[in-house]
Amino acid sequence: MTLDVGRVLERLLSTGSTVAVAESLTGGLVTAALTEVPGASRVVRGGVVAYVNDVKHEILGVAGEALAVDGPVSAEVATALAEGVRRRMTATFGVATTGVAGPDQQDGHPVGEVYVAVAGPDGRVVRRLDLSGAGDRAAVRRATVVAALSLLAEVVGEEPG
């Protein structure tokens, strides 16, 4: 599957919508993919790289209890990140990534366990990914970017292609 990020951004623009991104394991790659498209500033509000738990909690409002239970790698944290960045940046949609890119497991979570989430006016959607077979750290991160943007495309009603 290929994803035309420009079409996703056009769909957001045509509906008067905006997007903001909260990234952990992707470290800014989702925001970079969005802003590679000319004119992205019409719909992209910004991004936060929330690589450590205190940033997730203090900047994006992820509950300390959620971070304490399973650490940052969970569906609950992914949805909280998406909702937190959506609120903080007053965007229509918030997109979030969290997980383990490797090379080592984290807090008992294996390399390749990843969650992507989108929060919007009609609710939240989260997906758990098993990217253990994706390859190295860079491949896990690239696959996460595609998954996050594909989920955004699905939520805003834009078919990949």
pLDDT at position 2: 64
- Nearest-angstrom CA–CA distance, 59 and 77: 13
Mean pLDDT, contiguous 10-residue spans, the chain (161 residues): 87 97 98 97 98 97 93 97 98 98 93 98 97 92 97 88 53
pLDDT at position 55: 97
pLDDT at position 143: 97
pLDDT at position 161: 53
Domains of the chain: 5-156 (3.90.950.20)
- Nearest-angstrom CA–CA distance, 67 and 64: 5
- Nearest-angstrom CA–CA distance, 90 and 93: 9
The alpha helices in the chain, defined as continuous H runs, are 5-14, 29-35, 53-58, 64-70, 75-88, 137-156
